[in-house]
Structure 1
Amino acid sequence: MTSPSPSRFHALVPCAGSGSRSGRSGPKQYADLAGRSVVGHTLAALAQVRRLHQVLVVLSPDDAEFESRVPGFGGSVARCGGETRAQTVANGLAELARQGAPADDWVLVHDAARCLVRAEWIDALIDACSDDAVGGLLALPLADTLKDERDGRVAATLDRRGKWQAQTPQMFRLGLLRDALARAGADVTDEASAIEACGLSPRLVCGSLENFKLTFPPDFELAERLLRTR
């Protein structure tokens, strides 16, 4: 008798957003940074993770920039992005299933704008979660004091104990994540939230402060400096 094939690892990169808070004239994932586009740096890091079976980038249907901004990309591209991140990820999962990925394969969803990610951090996530019943995500315990704001002033100080800042990749089984996103709807802001809504508890795997998401104008300046000093 033959044993079943082991589960494979797929990276899914939602890359259909507009980056409206970045202060850039175009999508932030295509901004130039240290000689390469933001998403180009992201995909170069993913390419160094040897256990990934494939990398699927999910673009908006009218994206006409990707191939020129990431020349020589060796992964897969699907122009099926939705209006929200959750819809884009759900459409990407459907594409992986259409390509033959079974429900028990692992999918690592990673933000295109987290371009300082390192292969060793992704490998640490895979090591921590590949035998986990649920899956998990890179995250950081909060170090700063948290303030609740109202009308530009402090309304309250919040208890930071036990609070973590979610990062990506977030790693879950394809079938579980598809079902969770379908139940949670289009407004969840990360995959772990959808899994939590099913009553499950994803594993927290400590990431790095450098694995931040480029969102506001100063983030690009910091990322540029960090990339040039690596």
Structure 2
Amino acid sequence: MANIHALIVGAGRGSRFGSALPKQYTTIGNKTILEHSVACLNHECIADLTLVIAQDDEIASTLTFDFDKPIYITTGGAERFLSVKAGVEHIMKNGASFDDWVLIHDGARPCLPEQDLNNLICVLDGLTDEVGAILATPVADTLKFVQDGNIKHTINRTNLYQAQTPQVFKAGALLAMLDDVCDKGLMITDEASGFEQLGQMVKIVIGSCQNIKLTYPDDVVMIQALLGLPFQIT
């Protein structure tokens, strides 16, 4: 298998979380969410990790990460996809080839099960027509389309999935897609959606509902329970 380079995006402010401190620096069990997220990627098949942070970030360099391979830090952009692009370019400068894999994970997903990561990595060698693979879970709840606070109709949830991270793609294809997004002035919320706009296929690997992303304050209680750690928020 080609080398796998992990990339964690931690440059966001987390406006929906409603805290002056970026949400990835929320502390649970004497470790930040970001430290927990990095530890999830401490896997024998991952060669190194690039951490993308905000330009004015003064916290990341003070943290201690449970990760056995080299860690590199670079700065991101105003949007998530620009931060991913900066991270991929940094990985390429460190010697990665176009055929290496880049495994992108959110800095605010601290509960990624090891089995989910194993399952994602295991499908990579078997990909044929797909440009990469992502973790996702089937939508379980009934979905309502709402306008002006009123339900307009119910959405058929058959074939609907909630995208998660990690998302894994070949470095060369990923960089080409991100260049295309920038050139066309597009906005994407995850890397898979960028490939969708290019008409390229992405493999779905069923993930766990435990792999939640810290988005709202209520999520902290769930993350605390999943990690089995005492709650402390700072």
Relative to the length of structure 2, the TM-score reads 0.91
Q: Distance in 1 between matches of 2:34 and 2:117?
A: 16
Give unmatched runs, 5+ long, in structure 1: 1-5
Q: Which amino acid counterpart does residue 201 of structure 1 have in structure 2? A: M
Tell me which residue corresponds to 2:108: 113
CA-CA distance at 1:42 after TM superposition: 0.7
Native 8 Å contact 1:30 1:69 kept in 2: no
1:160 maps onto 2:157 in alignment: yes
When residues 72 and 137 of structure 1 are mapped into structure 2, their CA distance, relative to the original with a 3 A threshold, is closer
- Pairing 1:65–2:59 present: yes
CA apart distance, 1:98: 0.5
Separation in 2 of the partners of 1:207 and 1:14?
20
Asked whether the 8 Å contact 1:139–1:206 carries over to 2, the reply is yes
1:127 to 122, 128, 132: 122
SS in 1 for 2:24: helix
2:216 aligned residue: 216
Q: Secondary structure at the match of 1:176?
A: helix
TM-score between the two structures when normalised by the length of structure 1: 0.92
Kindly state the Cα deviation for residue 76 of structure 1 after the two structures are TM-superposed.
2.1
Q: CA RMSD in A?
A: 1.7
Distance 1:86 1:224, change over 3 A: same
State how far apart, in whole Å, the 1-side matches of 2:59 and 2:157 are.
Answer: 41
Bigger shift: residues 71-80 or 26-35: 71-80
Deviations 1:13-55 (A, max 9, x none): 01101111112220000110122100100111111x1100111
- Alignment match of 2:86 (pick from 79, 83, 91): 91
Compute the displacement of 1:67 (Å): 2.2
* Percent identity (aligned): 36
Q: Give ranges in structure 2 of 5+ residues lacking alignment.
A: 230-234
| SS of the residue 2:192 aligns to | helix
For the 8 Å contact 1:184–1:197, the answer to whether it is kept is no
How do residues 1-230 of structure 1 correspond to structure 2 at under 5 angstroms? Answer: 6-47=1-42, 49-70=43-64, 75-133=70-128, 134-185=131-182, 187-228=187-228
Q: What amino acid does structure 2 have at the position aligned with 1:67?
A: S
Structure 1 distance, partners of 2:105, 2:4, is 13
